[in-house]
Each structure stands twice: as structure tokens, then as C-alpha cells.
A and B are shown apart, each in its own frame.
Chain A
Amino acid sequence: MTALTPEAAIAIIASHGADPARWPADAAAPLLDLAASDADVAAALADARTLDADLAGWLAATPALAAVDVTAITAVPQERPAPVSRPAFGWRPALLAASLTMMIATAGWLAMPGAPESASPIASTRSPSAVAEADETDLVFAHVFTPTAAEEDLI
């Protein structure tokens, strides 16, 4: 262990007070040795003893407070831990079976020879108005970006 410096000793006294029993265990003996040889440490220790005595007096002078009203407290209902809400156990296998059934049915329907030409089930669900809107957009795009004959000459 490194030797205790006077500064470190004074810092311990400043925070812990003058009672060696409250100092860090490994610092008590070296600090008392230092207090015997260093005037500053000895002065800090004497000062801390005075403050400790003042604090002890203050701690002992607690006034009597009104007693806790036990009857009022026990009249209040106790909180109970909230039950953990989980779905009923039987639902989980049922949900799994339903999901599997849906997957198999969808895969079977897509594999049928009479299935729509589009590979995407999403495209097949588009409404007629949506299809018309898309076609119109394509026409506008072509009109704007298709060069005219004069533009073709310039290119």
C-alpha cells in the first residue's frame, strides 16, 4: 500500500469525520500515525472532533413527532400484484393450424392451371379503375418523353 499523504489524510477526515472507526479500514492506522507527526493533519483532526460533537448533539435533539396513524393506514386496501394477462393456452395451436391452412390453400390455388397469368397475387387484386389510372399515367409519360419528328432530327 502507498504511504498516506497529509492531503489524503485531511480529505478522509473532511468527509468521514474524526472517528477512526468510520475511516476506511486500511487508512486508520497510517492516518493516526500521520496525525502524530503532521501539524496540519492534527489540526484537521481536532477541528473534525469539534464538528462531530456538534453533529452528535444535533442528532440527539430530534423532537418528538406525532405518532403514525396506524388505523388510517390499515383502512386503506392493499395493492395486489396485477395478474399477468396471457391468451388462453388452447389458442396458440389453433392459431398455428389456421396459419398453416391458409398458407397451403394459397399455395395450392397459385399452382392451379386456371390461375391468373400474373404471378403476383397483388397485381391480380388491382381494381379496374386502378388499372385504368396506371394506363393513363403511362400515356402521359410517353407523350412527354417521346421525341417529336423535329426533336428526332435535332438528336
Chain B
Amino acid sequence: MATALMLRVAQGDAAAFTAMVHHLERPAQALAWRTLMDRAAAEDVCQQAFLKLWTQGHRFDPARGTAEAWFRRILVNLCLDRRRAIRPVQAIDDGFDIADPAPDPEAQAIAADRQARVDMAMARLNPRQRLALSLFHGEGLSMAEIATRMETTPKAIEGLLGRARNELRTMMNETSL
């Protein structure tokens, strides 16, 4: 579906572009936010990614993959470019306010505390590690697919994910002290 739409976008079809945005916007925002953990940066990267989708639509080649994969690659590259411009450590105070559906106030408080510690630990992770975690656990991509998006090898992605999970666990234990 997206590939057919993309071919129309490449021909200047604004309605097809609007449909593409509806189809890809939410996953793009989620991936950008998880990678950058900065609202303004994530919004800006999404706008830029869709701008490229529109202006450089003629570069899309359906023989080389789906439109979703092509767009995700644009987004990933923009996120990785942007990571240099953002602070590596960013406290996420909003994490304490995340609502929990559990009726028990104590369980709710424990869950909120845990979520806040995950947020803080994720904010301290390297953006490249966050991106790999997002693509593997959030998007459900395979090691090989992530390696293609991040222009490296599946083995390197395995190592990156292993280190990311280990650092995350260590930082969460630190923040719980």
C-alpha cells in the first residue's frame, strides 16, 4: 500500500502524500522520540523526514525495498545526525507523572517510580543504543534489518544491544539506591 502511494507521491500527488503521512506519522514520532528523547528535536526530525519524502520522492526505488523501509532509513539517518546536537544526559521529570491504570495507590506509586527510573536511564544511554533498542523491541525488526538501517553488521548490532541492555540495567540499579 505504502509503496503504491509513494510512487504517486513521487509524481507530485499531494493527496497521496497526506495519506503517507497518516500512515507513517505515529511510528515515525515514536521512533524519533525514543531515539532523541527530546520533544522539539523529535518533532523537527519528523518534519524533516517527511519533507525529504516529498521533495526527494523520485529517489525511491521499489525494487530496493518498501516505502516504509526507505522512509525509516531517512528518519534513522536524521536522528543519528541530530544526536550530535543534543545533550547526552537529560533528566525526564515528566516520568514521575505517567499515569498507571492500577487502582492500588501503592502499586501505582511503585510502577510510576520504576517507569521514572527507566526514563532516566534511557535518557543517559547513547542515542545509537536507544535507536537499536527501539528498532528491536519497539519496531520488532531483526538484527539484520537493524544492521541495514544503521549501516553496520548484525553482529555489531548484537553487541550494541547487549551493551545497551547491560548499561540500562546498571543505571536503573544506580538510580534505585
Contact = CB atoms under 8 A, between A and B. Distances in A.
Interface in A3-29: 11, 14-17, 22
Contacts of B98: 61
Interface residues of A, number: 34
B58 A79 contact: yes
B50 A73 contact: yes
9 contacts: A11-B162, A59-B30, A59-B134, A59-B137, A61-B119, A68-B46, A70-B17, A78-B10, A79-B55
B54 interface: yes
A48 to B, nearest CB: 8
Interface of A, helix, strand, loop or mixed by DSSP: helix
B118 A58 contact: yes
Interface of B, helix, strand, loop or mixed by DSSP: helix
Interface stretch (B62-70, B77-85, B102-110, B165-173): B165-173
B168 A51 contact: yes
B47 interface: yes
A76 B14 CA distance: 11
Interface of A: 11, 14-17, 22, 47-48, 51-52, 54-59, 61-63, 65-70, 72-74, 76-81
A55 B161 contact: no
Given A55-B133, A69-B47, A62 B30 contact: yes
Nearest to B115: A57
Contacts of B57: 78
B113 to A, nearest CB: 12
Interface residues of B, number: 47
Contacts of A68: 21, 25, 46-47, 50
Given A54-B115, A63-B33, A73-B50, 11 more contacts: A15-B159, A54-B114, A62-B34, A65-B29, A65-B39, A65-B46, A70-B50, A74-B14, A74-B18, A76-B55, A79-B58
A66 B98 CA distance: 19
A58 B172 CA distance: 13
Contact of A73 (B47, B114, B119, B159): B47
A96 B165 CA distance: 67
A47 B43 contact: no
